[in-house]
Amino acid sequence: QMNLEQSGPEVKRPGTSLRVPCKTSGFSFGNSAIHWVRQARGQRLEWIGWIVAGSGRTNHAQKFNDRVLISRDMSEKTAYLELTSLRSDDTAIYFCAARSDSKIDYMEVWGTGTTVIVSS
């Protein structure tokens, strides 16, 4: 059974960086694609980016420009989202979601989310 384990809540100061892990199990990580999606309180889902785990190829939404880095650790079967220069409007729940066959068109399974609060 596909499972995505996400970490507990984090509080960050404006201007600092965030690194959120997504530990996978129950499927072949090397043949998967992992998306990152965030949701501010009461707001819509917002796609951040994806990584094809086997190749390491990534893509991300233009609004994040050079603030976002998506990576993976094959030995740990874990994907990471890094977001730099944090602002208060980065406060949100950050979800990882996976496809088990390296395709990126939709998300089969979602993690429970990591709550991130950016506040001084």
Chain residues binding other proteins by CB under 8 A are 35, 37, 44-47, 50, 59, 61-62, 95, 97, 104-113
User: Least distance in Å: CB of 94 to other proteins?
Assistant: 11
Residue 99's SS3 state is: strand
Q: How far is CA 19 from CA 65, 104, 106, in A?
A: 17, 22, 24
Q: What is the DSSP letter of 106?
A: S
User: Least distance in Å: CB of 78 to other proteins?
Assistant: 18
Q: Which is nearer to other proteins, 13 or 63 (CB)?
A: 63
User: Least distance in Å: CB of 30 to other proteins?
Assistant: 21
User: Do the Cβ atoms of 5 and 78 come closer than 8 Å?
Assistant: no
